[in-house]
Amino acid sequence: MLPMSLAQIAEVVQGRMHQVPDPDAVVTGPAFVDSRLAAPGGLFVAFDGERVDGHDFASQAVAAGAAGVLASRPVAAPAIVVPDVLEALGALTSWTARRMVETTRIGVTGSSGKTSTKDLLGQVLGRLGPTVATAGSQNNEIGVPLTVLGALPGTEYLVLEMGARGVGHLSYLTGLVPLDVSLVLNVGSAHAGEFGGREATAQAKGELVEALESDGAALLNADDPLVAAMASRSKAPVTYFGCCAQADIRAENVRLDDHGWAHFELRTSAGQAPVVLRLLGEHHVSNALATAAVAHTLGMATAEIADALSSAVATTGSRMQLHERADGVTVIDDAYNANPDSMAAALRALASMGSGRRTVAVIGEMRELGPESAADHRAVGELAGGLGVDIVVGVGGDEAGWVVAGAAEKGAATHQAADRAAAAELLAGLLGAGDLVLVKASLGAGLQALVRDLLDEPVR
């Protein structure tokens, strides 16, 4: 966080100081909302949530080193009290972001791939200078401010994953943080039930481009017509990335090896260079091209971009992460999120890696799909069977049943488990040495716990 005294913060957020012995005490650490993650010199932001009231932990946060608390009522600690903590957090973020004049602010959005892409950007741009990127998937009206307030003086590149669950959400976030670069990955079926369809999703995602001034840079996926069409909404110059011939930054000769890693030739206006990604699945090619488009725009040489991409690894958990069990079973953990597009990509990666091995797809619910949910789940099962996945295990209720029905129709062996515990018991008796297992579902399905069950499974 840019160093600020408690008195300065109170002035910015229009709050009143409570039990502050030294108004000139300086906040030098990041803002945080979990008292267990207290940072020395940081600012504890106390939210009154559905399950936990942060105000109850204010004194612990300060005892652990926080310089003060942002709160909506008096607490037993030095605090700045405001009527609305979220509104105050936004005001502090806006004030801070507009003073980061030496920092290039990059916004990333899309229906899928946001987290993997910002992870790539964090690693690739780190070669150009000090870089701060969103932690995990903290991409909402709380997470974006926390990322901004976590940037220290001297940060040259600020990579912000920005999510939206409706029209106006990205306009709010970009109102807090003026962007220099807007990167739009894709418009898919994720959250289609909430948005009201892909066209409405595109309208919302395009707000990231509309926020740019004429001296910014809009980077759009040429392979996605709904994204490419956002060019008309940009005052800034547009650069296209993708696999099609029209893309300015593109991949040629794409192939997957037996590890599930993508190989391709990266081509830019400045030259070409080979890339071998250390990430599972061909879908990461698009994420890599998006990253390359940002790096190229910021002046990085093509060969260095390719080398940086080839060295990058997955840094956020439960996203196509590979785990080898001692008994020879390999588990691919992709249980953080799921939609029809990412599910298809994961299944194709599983099939490509399965040469000579038995493949098992453990599939849970994809949430927020709206009226197309039944058809989308069945299509996932049909794809798994059509790709030659040997065994498909659906976990859950009706959604799992639709997956299983689709897979059985295409010839896969199928099982259905009512919940995580039943799935763990089933897989304990089913898996054997050499098996390759994919676990994928939306976060709310809880299959991250199933991955832990599998990795704790004793060797037979």
The pLDDT, as a whole number, for residue 323 is 94
* Average pLDDT score over residue span 95-120: 96
pTM of the model: 0.92
Q: 166-183 pLDDT, tens per residue? A: 999 999 999 999 999 999
Tell the CATH superfamily of the 321-455 domain. Mur ligase, C-terminal domain (3.90.190.20)
According to CATH, the superfamily of the domain at 4-84 is MurE/MurF, N-terminal domain (3.40.1390.10)
Mean pLDDT of 428-443: 96
**Mean pLDDT of the chain, nearest integer:** 95
Q: Is the pLDDT of residue 358 over 60?
A: yes
* pLDDT band, very low/low/confident/very high, at 302 (cuts 50, 70, 90): very high
Which residues, in sequence order, are bridge partners of residue 440? 334, 363
pLDDT greater than 70 at residue 363:
yes
pLDDT of 459 > 50? The answer is: no
Provide mean pLDDT across the span 403-429. 97
Sign of the dihedral defined by the CA atoms of residues 72, 135, 173, 65, in that order: positive
Q: How confident is the model at residue 457 (pLDDT cuts 50, 70, 90)?
A: low
Compute the average pLDDT of residues 185-207. Answer: 83
In the chain, domain spans: 4-84, 100-311, 321-455
Asked whether residue 407 carries a pLDDT value surpassing 80, the answer given is yes
Minimal CA–CA distance to 403: which of 380, 375, 437? 380
Nearest 5°: phi and psi at 115? -70, -45
Between CA 130 and CA 137, with CA 134 as vertex, the angle to 5 degrees is 160
What's residue 53's pLDDT?
A: 97
- Judged against a pLDDT cut of 70, whether residue 382 lies above it is answered with yes
Question: Residue 370: pLDDT band by 50, 70, 90 thresholds?
Answer: confident
Whether the per-residue pLDDT at 194 is higher than 80: the answer is no
pLDDT score at 415:
98
Q: Does residue 260 or residue 305 have the better pLDDT?
A: 305
pLDDT at position 138: 95
pLDDT-above-70 percentage for the chain: 97
Q: What is the pLDDT of residue 198?
A: 87
**Stretch 66-88: mean pLDDT:** 98
State how far the Cα of 170 lies from the Cα of 218, in Å rounded to an integer: 15
DSSP SS3 for 305: helix
- Let me know the angle formed at the C-alpha of 97 by 93 and 99, rounded to the nearest 5 degrees: 125
Helices 114-125 and 302-311: angle between axes, nearest 10 degrees: 120
Strand ranges across the sheet with 249-256: 131-133, 157-161, 104-109, 181-184, 217-221, 238-242, 249-256, 261-268, 271-280
* Mean of pLDDT values over 320-336: 94
Mean pLDDT of 11-29: 97
CATH topology of domain 100-311: UDP-N-acetylmuramoyl-L-alanine:D-glutamate ligase (3.40.1190)
